[in-house]
Structure 1
Amino acid sequence: MGKCSCHPEIETSYICMKHNVYLCEECLKCRDPELFCKFRSSCPIWFIDKKMAGLDEDKKIEKEMFKVIFEPDNKEVEVPKGASLLEAAQKADVHINASCNGKGACGKCKLILKSGSVKKEPTALLSDQEKAKDYVLACQTFVQGDVTVKTPDEIIEKKLKVAGMGKEATDRLKGLVKNIEPMVKEITLELEPPTMDDPVSDLDRLNRGLKKTGCDVSKMNVGIKVMQELAAAMRDENWKVTVSVIRKKCSNEILGVTPGNNRPASLGLAIDVGTTSVVVYLVNMADGSVISAASGHNKQAACGDDVINRIICAEKNGPVKLSKMALATINNLISEALSGADADAGQIKNIVISGNTTMAHLLMKIEPRYIRREPYIPCVSEFPILKAGETGIKADPAAAVFIMPGPAGYVGGDIVSGLIYAGFHREEPLTLFIDVGTNGEIVLGNKDWLMTASCSAGPAFEGGGVRWGMRAEEGAVEKVVIDPETLNPRLSIVGDVKPRGICGSGMIDLISEMLLKKIIEPNGKFRLDASHPRMKKENDELSYIVAFADETSMEEDIVFTETDIHSLVLSKGAIYAGFTVLLNQAGLDFSMVERVIITGGFGQFLDVDKAVNIGMLPDIDRSKFKYLGNSSIAGAYMALLSDEYRQEAGKISNSMTYIDFSGSSMFMDEFTSALFLPHTNVEKFPSVKIG
């Protein structure tokens, strides 16, 4: 017996002798069916897999193929009989949110069946109204013939409401970087032509010109391709050339020499690769202005909402699939940004990527599986400077790519990037920093010391695991106020349109209002029953009606259930417990904290008072709270322009003391205590009056 390589909590007797790994019943699949294996004649995994996959002794039986058409994009793809609609969507590059990685547990991957033959697994995650409209779950619906499906209007991918685009971003970031020092510098030279009195080689002449500009040519490397093209490049414009030089830790390298001094403006990319969304800033490297910006959903969401599900998906199929998904998202956004700026990808010479440790590994096709196995070690924590051609990013193939370093498996470069922007590690005041997202990373400290941890808040604040949860897109309820008499809610909607769901800030508002207006008990259970006009039972579960069907774009009630409340309570409990334990490890308490910095996607709409009401944030002086927006993209922008900040990133990463909560009994005790509204110990929240 041994532990399954993909599910270490499961004991199994099945072992692959070729790879020497154990596989549980869920994972019984031959890894190399096309390759010779001397163990095959006695391998139970091979025979079970062969039976399940329809293999004969030597090859697969040809499967019947059917067309699947996705409306309204009119994308068409062929898949074998028995493939799920989720698999078809992924193959057709149609975005469908599958929070649970296709396990049928989240109910997010909804499609409308227009025509065709399918086999549907029963599910309680679709309402009677949805079933009447021919809604299906993509992961639980299997192709039996040609099929046409439509993405429901309420879940069509829409542009994220992201703070800071274009001019707005430039104004916000203006002045953060005083001296622009890109990794790849384009140097214009006017060289003296060779003469009989000065007969040095073309390369020596180039190095001499570079030395006059301050370049350290004693450690200058040059590739054979540059040398092959050098003679023509030097003479085409009468010894006027533009030289691209990349500056690394221990050496410099000439990347290219082009004729003339009138090259188009050099551009840079700051990229925030989040678990949920990706943001791209296109930057003029001459003055640091953000000339265009774009944002979109990370296509990896089709493999699960959180990093654990992404890692499991990579273990089953390899990291290449997830890398392609992330690259497709990034490159589409780069194209959008370039189109908005009327620029060309060849102008992009410098790139900085900020993301958590798992996102960085998956993007670079690096094995991430050991991040989720004790002792939770990443393969790489600090990357060397790469070239865009090696990564697949849409830019000049020789463009320099700097990936923000991360201190641990669950605290990554996005947090280091956030600290560069927040800057509290350079200052005296004791600061608590929280990036509110799927992982819930926390940093505590000041200029003298830094401690960090990840509290696994889960995807609820990003809409995962909540019946009508969604990201901060058009149609999301972002603010809620409930009338104390009628218990009717007043809603603020992103885009001022009919509501389609509830985003993280809206859910925090909603739970706070329901608690204070006595709709729910401190344990998260409803005080009201189904007889109240704002209450109903859905799938035998009591729920509060946030918006009636005639008020929504889907003509269906938007409800908030006890299960939804429980998901949010788990998330807020993890964050508060993380604060408490990290402070305790340092011998401190909340009274000693001088400021709390909140960052993250939905934090820009967060009402601090309501977050305190539900016990997510500590009940301290509200003037201590400060919201800094998407600090990850801001820090990436600063590192893009400044060698000083790129060097500082490494120092921050190396100076952090990582505290692992995974086996901490103290964290579990604090987490359990935080699973009430606002807390089991109400004395910790004196300002919250729930009656």
Structure 2
Amino acid sequence: MGKCVNHPDRETPYLCMKHQTYLCEECLECKDPKIYCKHRSACPIWFMSKRKENWDAEDKNAATAAADCTVTFQPDGQTVSVPAGSTLLEAAQAADVHVNASCNGKGSCGKCKLVVASGAVESPPTPLLTDAEKKKGYVLACQSRITGDVSVQIPEEALQKKLKIAGMGQAVTEQLSGMVTEIDPMLKQVPLTLAPPTLEDSVSDLDRLNRGLKKEGCDVNRMNVGIKVMRQLAEAVRQDNWNITASVIRRKCANEILEVRPGNGAQPSLGLAIDIGTTTIVVYLVDMTDGRVLAATAGHNRQADCGDDVINRIVCAEKNGVKKLSRMALATINSLIGEALDSAGAKADAVRNVVVSGNTTMAHLLLQIEPRYIRRDPYIPTVSEFPILKAGEIGLKANPMGAVFIMPGPASYVGGDIVSGVLYTGFHREDLTTLFIDIGTNGEIVIGNREWMMTAACSAGPAFEGGGIRWGMRAEEGAIEKITIDPHSLEPTLSTVGDAPARGICGSGMIDLIAELMRTGIVDRSGRFVDMAGKRRVRQQGDEPAYVLAFADETPMEEDIVFTASDLKNLIYSKGAVYAGFTTLLGEAGMNFSMVDRIIITGGFGQYLNIERAVAIGLLPDIDRAKFNYMGNSSIAGAYMALLSGQYRQEAREICNTMTYVDFSSNPRYMDEFTSACFLPHTDLNAFPSVATPN
């Protein structure tokens, strides 16, 4: 016993052997925790000090757990527990509830609206909510921090509805019929009847298997076999009197026996073609025996909660981890695969071949490959051509040993979805000079023919997908898709998806609207609203002019749907980026529009595009309308072709290697062209004669 060095009136048994000083229970803390001490292993002060740290940590964890709050999302009643101080957006992501966060939670897009039904959250002031919305309890999910149990309502305008997507169901098989004449999957089921061993023929079971495969045309000189197959081989070959089925995956450099099972009867063989779009994911379930599409499903990519475009996705991956973004995409994909399998009455184990098509960022995120250098100079992806992978390695809802082919992509911003589109459209096999455009969040463009191809990407942004537009939305039920405006009364006639009450406006509706605003003189060529005093459809919305598409009593949200000057500006920038991409790429090739024989438009948005209206606003060139062709979702169609054919898989690699990529980020011509295209339709009216002198 001794006196505490800090409290001489207290006796204590705790002695610091290093400093030969006593410490009472209140003072139990090692003075030199980072310095080596030979007495530490037996030091009670060190032991009690570390134990106190553990108790403090346990108390802190207990306090955190006690502070967890329950968040309920209506109308489905989904609940989740999150720590106090979390944002409603973080809670939505934890509950797997879709909340559109176009700006990746920066509080700048105003899309992640929720209505607080009960409980309380802390929300900073924001100009992105109207006074009427604030009175109804609207908050921005990304800016609202949870302080206790809370129940929130997803507002009517933000509820996910059924997507309007062409080519679903039986029509898909009819559309793609005849595209592949000889089915040649990556993973083949090879039925074999082997000769039983005898004293005269005493080769090993594996040699006997290789001999049987060689007779069936397999290249056994490049055949690998794993320990798993060796272990199962002896029993498998003898269980059904030497009748077996070998699962063989064929890769570019080597083949591999993945499984040997008893019996050589036919079993269901299914495949998946998957298009991972930035906005939408589409899945086809395919019968690998005859190429029929058994089921087709589509849904929103849940990664959209982290931003509308690939740059925001990469930033989110840097902040929250690539694994999180991968899980979000897989959640959507596997849910769609489940729907397709259920509708066809099939099992995931029967899916042994998969082809995935998507842009470079989507492919990297799906495979949990670091994407950050895609957005950093000199903009290099980690992988451009992928080896054949296994479904189990990725986490796809399929047979774990199923072969997965990822469509190759030539550059960071021109990916496998464009290679897939070129494969499907087939212009790389023809003499006609073709301009190919996939209109989406990224506007990817290809120009060329069978002798050459050049490609580039222009950042069109998410405006035509609904991002950054006050009432913008995707082509779901209730989306305004067609508009005409009476030139005298300025009253609109609207057509909505599914003939449902208007909830917002989609990309095709926006193009119609801009063209009509120009035609009726509501906006001028510079994109400014003209003074329309006395017209009830044109008014001030806050501090800017706006056109009222639908009044509150006509909408399920009981709010006016308006199109503001800011919305118009965003769309002009987007259409300007696409048109500048056309002219810049043609210029780099030493060409102009008169030298183009055909323009192919693809992508979900392109299906509902009115060519005349798109030309009128300067999105598309003013050339012979007969040159325009719409070819649907070319990405999923090309994935389907590659799924069924080894020849098309090789052709996809050749397309990728043939393309010459042009980088617009450092191209001065592009910025000049973009500036000129930020008028309606363009600063040079000579390029748009039909708009300058309409019939």
Are 1:194 and 2:158 counterparts? no
The reply to whether residue 78 of structure 1 matches residue 81 of structure 2 is yes
Shift in Å at residue 316 of structure 1?
A: 1.3
Counterpart residue number, 1:4: none
Shift of 1:227: 1.4
Residue of 270, 273, 283 corresponding to 2:273? 270
**Which string of whole-angstrom CA distances, capped at 9 and with x for unpartnered residues, describes residues 81-128 of structure 1?**
111100000111111110000011111111111101210111111222
**Of 441, 453, 463, which aligns to 2:466?**
463
**Identical residues among aligned pairs (%):** 65
RMSD of equivalent CA atoms: 1.9
Matches for 1:96-135 after TM superposition, within 5 Å: 96-135=99-138
Question: Secondary structure of 1:308's match?
Answer: helix
Q: Which moved more, 1:489-498 or 1:95-104?
A: 489-498
| Alignment match of 2:236 (pick from 219, 233, 245) | 233
Counterpart check, 1:623 vs 2:623: no
Aligned residue identity for 1:96: V
Shift of 1:57: 11
Q: Deviations over 1:359-407 (max 9, x none)?
A: 1111111111111111101111111111111111111110011111111
Which residue does 1:553 correspond to in 2?
556
Q: 2 CA distance for matches of 1:482 and 1:235?
A: 77
2:383 to 352, 362, 380: 380
Equivalent-residue separation in structure 2 for 1:253 and 1:665 (angstroms)? 50
> Paired residue for 2:595?
592
Using the TM superposition, give the Cα deviation of residue 591 of structure 1 relative to its aligned residue in structure 2, in angstroms. 0.6
Q: How does 1:134-283 map to 2 (within 5 A)?
A: 134-283=137-286
The structure 1 residue matched to 2:427, chosen from 414, 424, 428, is 424
Counterpart of 2:15?
A: none
Whichever residue aligns with residue 217 of structure 1, its letter is: V
Distance between the aligned counterparts of 1:447 and 1:130, measured in 2?
56
SS of the residue 1:667 aligns to: helix
Q: Deviations over 1:491-547 (max 9, x none)?
A: 221111111111111101110111111111111111143631112322232111111
Question: Distance between the aligned counterparts of 2:264 and 2:479, measured in 1?
Answer: 50
> Which structure has the greater CA radius of gyration?
2
Aligned residues: 640
Residue in structure 1 matched with residue 307 of structure 2 by the alignment:
304
Match of 2:344 in 1: 341
Look up the equivalent residue of 2:172 and give its one-letter code. Answer: A
Taking the aligned partners of 1:171 and 1:115, their CA distance within structure 2 comes to 51
Q: Which amino acid aligns with 2:197?
A: P
Q: Distance in 2 between matches of 1:90 and 1:597?
A: 38
Deviation (angstroms), 1:410 = 0.6
Aligned to 1:542, what secondary structure does the other structure show? strand
On the 8 A contact 1:322/1:362 being kept in 2, the answer is yes
Change (3 A) 1:205 1:136: same
Matched, 1:576 2:579: yes
Q: Which residue of the partner structure matches residue 444 of structure 2?
A: 441
**Partner residue of 2:291?**
288
Instruction: Return the match for 2:515 from 501, 512, 516.
Output: 512
Return the alpha-carbon distance in structure 2 between the equivalents of residues 625 and 57 of structure 1.
Answer: 70
For residues 227 and 459 of structure 1, do their structure 2 counterparts lie closer, same or farther at Cα, with a shift above 3 Å needed? same
In structure 2, the partner of 1:668 is: 671
Quote the Cα distance in structure 2 between the aligned partners of 1:124 and 1:619.
39
Shift of 1:452: 0.5
Q: 1-side partners of 2:34 and 2:533: how far apart?
A: 62
Q: Distance in 2 between matches of 1:468 and 1:399?
A: 43
In 1, Cα distance between the equivalents of 2:249 and 2:631?
Answer: 32
What is the CA distance between 1:190 and its match in structure 2?
2.5
State how far apart, in whole Å, the 2-side matches of 1:574 and 1:125 are: 26
**Which residue identity does 2:677 align to in structure 1?**
A
Aligned to 1:321: 324
Which aligned pairs between 1:630-641 and structure 2 lie closer than 5 A?
Answer: 630-641=633-644
Shift of 1:356: 0.6
Output the amino acid matched with 1:579.
F
Tell me, yes or no, if the aligned pair for 1:530 and 1:537 is still in contact at 8 Å: no
Structure 1 residues 431 and 58, CA, compared in 2 at 3 Å: closer, same or farther?
Answer: same
* Partner Cα separation in structure 2 for residue 37 and residue 638 of structure 1: 64
Preserved contact between residue 95 and residue 299 of structure 1 (Cα < 8 Å): yes
Task: Show the 5 A alignment for 1:382-531.
Answer: 382-529=385-532, 531=534
Q: Distance in 1 between matches of 2:622 and 2:57?
A: 67
Q: Partner letter of residue 582 of structure 1? A: L
TM-score (norm 1): 0.90
CA distance in 1, matches of 2:204, 2:92: 58
**Structure 1 residues 405-440: Cα deviation after superposition (integer angstroms, max 9, x where no partner):** 111111111100000001101110111000001110
What's 1:537 paired with? 540
Q: Tell me if structure 2 keeps the 8 A contact 1:370–1:376.
A: yes
**Cα separation, partners in 2 of 1:92 and 1:363, compared to 1, 3 Å:** same
Which moved further from structure 2: 205-214 or 576-585?
205-214
SS at match of 1:88: helix
Deviations 1:42-83 (A, max 9, x none): xxxxxxxxxxxxx99989774321111111222211111111
8 Å contact 1:518–1:690 — kept in the other structure?
Answer: no
Q: Would you say the 8 A contact 2:685–2:692 is kept in 1?
A: no
Alignment CA distance shift 1:460-1:387 (3 Å): same
Name the CA distance, whole Å, in 1 between partners of 2:402 and 2:93: 30
Kept in 2, the 8 Å contact 1:278–1:295? The answer is yes
Q: Deviations over 1:267-316 (max 9, x none)?
A: 11111011111101111000111100111111111111011111111111
